[in-house]
A and B are shown apart, each in its own frame.
Chain A
Amino acid sequence: MPYTEELKRLIKIVEKTRAERVARKRRGEEFPLMSMEERAEVLKYHPDYGEEGRREIKVGPSKGYRVAHEIVDLLEARSRVDPDAVDLSQIHVETDVLIIGGGGAGTAAALLAEEQGAKVIIATKLRHGDANTMMAEGGIQAAAKMEKDSPYIHYLDVMGGGHFKNVPELVYTLVTQAPDIISWLEGMGLMFSKLPDGRLKTMHGGGTSRKRMHYAADITGIDIMRTIRDEARNRPRISAMEFSPAVELILNEHGHCVGALLYNMETEEYHIVKARAVILATGGCGRLHIQGYMTTNHYGATADGLVLGYRAGVGVCFLHTVQYHPTGAVFPEQLEGFLITEKFRAAGANILNIDGEQFVNEREPRDVEAAAFIRECLVRGKGVPTPTGKLGVWLDSPMIDILHGEGTVEREFPGKFIAHKRFGIDISKEPMLVYPTLHYQNGGLEYNANGETVIPGLFIAGEVSGGVHGENRLMGNSLLDIMVFGRIAGKNAAIYAQEKAKKGKLTLDHVRAYHRELEEAGIVTDRVAPMLLPDYTDPEVRKRQLTAYYVGTLR
């Protein structure tokens, strides 16, 4: 739906201040960045900072840790299956390395594991590549222009973004492997945006001190995902099992991870895959709609990996923070939650309140930026109301065409341009209305720089993990994270499979023990986890679905 008359009137106010703002931009005058004190002040308005959104986990390796209710609900839930009903002698298929999750981290891991000679199965919930990786737009960081940048400077940026709490070894690995990752992707045929001599174009992202965001127009994630997936499909030793999410890890009598129980969502059968090593790469949790927020995440981002790993004994860290992307669409309604990449701000678009005034620098770290929007709307009363009673702030995209030449918005942001055009909004002429949206799981399962967890044979990579981004990830560091740690986990899991994997009897005793722990903690619940898929059925319809028990696809 195009802008209403009322919103068009408000856009006129934005247009009035535009010429002056463009002139300031041209002179290099920016809205001042906040001091550390100002940041601390505004962060009080961030959804992470209220204790009412959290509670203590009562069971498991991180007992006592306070995280979002929506996550605790899943950790304090029973298995989807009765362990006694599973016949562990019925092995469906055996492999060297089982990778759970066919997103960017899982696929990168598959390539490296295969290169070590391993036979690899990727078991994934939806289609191979239906993942948050596919949705990434902005780009991927790497300090690869040595005349102005280095891993040292990248390291500082990462730490500052994460409130200096990140695990140093992980950050070290992230920033040092970055240039090689970009080169690896280029070698597989990624179509990075380039200058005529082949140098990669780079730009800023929130919290970067150097322009080191590499990109493939505004669909970097698509190009990464489809390219590495294509390569995985070429490798004869890699196969993918789609629509087969893992619902439980399987251990052996020595406590080593030796496979997983998969659920064929179409035939509703459970299958056992036995492996010499397992990599958990299930991504994030946006579809839990933490604190009721809309989300940018794909359909299957339901924190399954957290549940699987936690039940088997891997602790969680940095899960008390969740990333809200500052700029999610709030209008038109149909695009709600839709990510509007940070690159609009990097390319010069201002953030404005209802009076067409700037109130925050456009390049603060994400949490600070998002909190500033929330404060402007909810505390200072300067938000722009939508026809359905929500609030947003303006993202003044037309400035980009004025600054960089007509046609820039359409050329550099084809995805966003088309998506809005479908609703009669021309974002090269009209600003966009935005508000924070649930975007990224900053924390997750504990691991080390080798991709190992406390459970021998269980490796992890990607958004399901916690530590490298501390309390807040910077844009462009997640795509980097999943490539770096995906490759590491793949390689190390393959080596483990060849050299260290130990034979032993398969067991689901850890699930039985977890159930006992729930009972002992007095948690009586019919909740089951992992969730697998969110349920968006109309509640009235759901009431009439008498024989359906709606938790994921469970019936």
Chain B
Amino acid sequence: MSGSETEKEAHTTATEEAKPEVAINMIPVFVMGKRYDVPEGLTIMKAMEYAGYKFIRGAGCRGGVCGACATVYRKAGDYKIYAGLACQTVIEPNMYLTQIPFYPANRAEYRFEELKPEPEEIFKLYPEVFRCLACNACTKVCPMDVEVMDAIAAIKKGDIAKAAELTFSCIQCGLCASRCLGELPQYHIFQLARRIYGAKIAPQAEHLKQAAQAVEEGKYEKVLQELMGMGIEDLKILYQEREIEPEMAGEDWEPADKRHL
């Protein structure tokens, strides 16, 4: 068994995540050029830990969503530079790798409430978008398969909505910025685009404000106070009597019992 986070003895806090149990096949990997033999099948992160590294930087969620563990690597006999997330990428024999836990990138400060939903706002804050040379190195390096260059192109054309949608799964690891010839901080630019889109371009949900206002006006105060004063047994009865919205019900479903709405 490789990469086991499960098989821990109870009562211990030290864990042995990378301890393999079944027939181990050790393979060489080169961490910043130095060779370590580690069990095959591990992710880059677990392989480095197995070898004795203890991360302070370069590890966050350990689940592929935070962008802390950006890693670049080469394979034996291959000139190409590959990139991936250390927590998600499985090691290969003779991989040469290094983590890039931080890469400097300019981030503009702004007062969000004052921004207008117009591309000029982004151009003003990030004039460097126009330095994009359309080389597509950013897209190639992205571990989340975001169409980075296309999203920058969308911004240049003024299509904030498209940029927001294209970059929705961005985890801001910074690899795009590290490869950019035009020195763009793509992931910061996209964050701005998504916020403008979400708050100022996408249609807003009126029902949220109405519901918040109903609370504010005390609409539910009396019934809630009653619930709060109730004993467990009475609560249990109410709980079991709840009318359950069917799973396949459409948006227009309404309950038969409208007393507490």
State the A residues within 8 Å of B (CB). 1, 25-26, 28, 30, 36, 52-53, 69-70, 73-74, 126-127, 129-130, 134-135, 142-153, 155-157, 159-160, 164, 168-169, 171-172, 175-177, 179-180, 182-183, 186-192, 194-200, 204, 209-211, 216-217, 219, 221-223, 226-227, 230-231, 233-234, 236, 243, 265-266, 288-289, 291-296, 298-300, 333-334, 336-339, 346, 348, 363, 388-390, 414-415, 418-419, 422-423, 531, 533-539, 541-542, 545, 550, 553
Contact = CB atoms under 8 A, between A and B. Distances in A.
Given A145-B211, A146-B211, A194-B203, A422 B10 contact: no
Contacts of A346: 247
Interface of B: 1-19, 21-22, 41-43, 46, 49-57, 59-66, 68, 88-90, 107, 109-112, 144-145, 164, 168-169, 171-172, 191-192, 194-200, 202-212, 214-216, 220, 223-224, 227-228, 232, 235-236, 238-240, 242-249, 251, 253-255, 260-261
A189 B194 contact: yes
Given A36-B240, A155-B224, A177-B215, 8 more contacts: A130-B61, A146-B207, A147-B254, A172-B228, A188-B195, A216-B168, A221-B65, A536-B50
Contacts of A191: 164, 168, 194, 197-198, 202
B5 A333 contact: no
Contact of B41 (A176, A236, A334): A334
Given A176-B224, A183-B208, A234-B110, A53 B10 contact: yes
8 smallest beta-carbon distances between A and B, as pairs: A189-B195, A198-B203, A179-B211, A130-B60, A189-B198, A536-B17, A189-B199, A292-B8
B169 to A, nearest CB: 6
B112 A388 contact: no
Interface majority SS on B: helix, strand, loop or mixed?
Answer: loop
Nearest to B6: A294
Contacts of B247: 28, 30, 204, 346, 348, 363
B168 to A, nearest CB: 6
Given A30-B247, A198-B204, A539-B19, A70 B62 contact: no
A414 B168 CA distance: 10
Contact of A151 (B1, B4, B11, B224): B224
B154 to A, nearest CB: 15
A216 B197 CA distance: 13
B258 to A, nearest CB: 9
Contact of B13 (A168, A169, A288): A288
Contact of B10 (A69, A145, A265): A69
B112 A299 contact: no
A243 B101 CA distance: 13
B164 to A, nearest CB: 7
9 contacts: A26-B248, A142-B208, A155-B227, A192-B198, A211-B245, A291-B10, A333-B1, A535-B15, A537-B53
A334 B45 CA distance: 11
A147 B251 CA distance: 10
A169 B240 contact: no
Contacts of A159: 227, 235, 239
B41 A537 contact: no
Nearest to A291: B10
A209 B15 contact: no
B208 A164 contact: no
B153 to A, nearest CB: 20
A538 B1 contact: no
B198 A217 contact: no
B41 A1 contact: yes
Contacts of A176: 215, 220, 224
Contacts of B10: 52-53, 69-70, 291-292
Nearest to A212: B245
Given A536-B16, A537-B54, A156 B238 contact: yes
A127 to B, nearest CB: 6
A188 B249 CA distance: 31
B197 A415 contact: no
Contacts of A52: 10
Given A199-B205, A538-B16, A541-B50, A388 B1 contact: yes
A541 B51 contact: yes
B12 to A, nearest CB: 8
Contact of A28 (B41, B65, B144, B248): B248
A134 B66 CA distance: 7
Contacts of A223: 168, 194
Q: Name the residue in B110, B194, B206, B208 with the highest tally of chain A Cβ atoms < 10 Å from its Cβ.
A: B208
Contact of A336 (B4, B215, B243): B4
B64 A419 contact: yes
A294 B62 CA distance: 12
A296 B63 contact: yes
Given A243-B57, A336-B3, A538-B52, A415 B235 contact: no
B261 A147 contact: yes
Nearest to A175: B224
A132 to B, nearest CB: 8
A233 B194 CA distance: 16
B128 to A, nearest CB: 18
A43 B212 CA distance: 37
A285 B50 CA distance: 23
Nearest to A73: B13
A231 B220 contact: no
Contacts of A299: 55, 59-62
Given A164-B235, A199-B251, A209-B244, A188 B19 contact: no
Given A127-B68, A388-B21, A553-B54, A222 B171 contact: yes
A143 B248 CA distance: 19
A152 B220 contact: yes
B232 A164 contact: yes
Nearest to B222: A152
Given A186-B205, A388-B21, A419-B64, A164 B52 contact: no
A291 B55 CA distance: 24
A176 B216 CA distance: 9
A223 B5 CA distance: 27
Given A191-B202, A419-B88, A180 B212 contact: yes
B14 A535 contact: yes
Contacts of B249: 211
Nearest to A70: B13
A298 B206 CA distance: 35
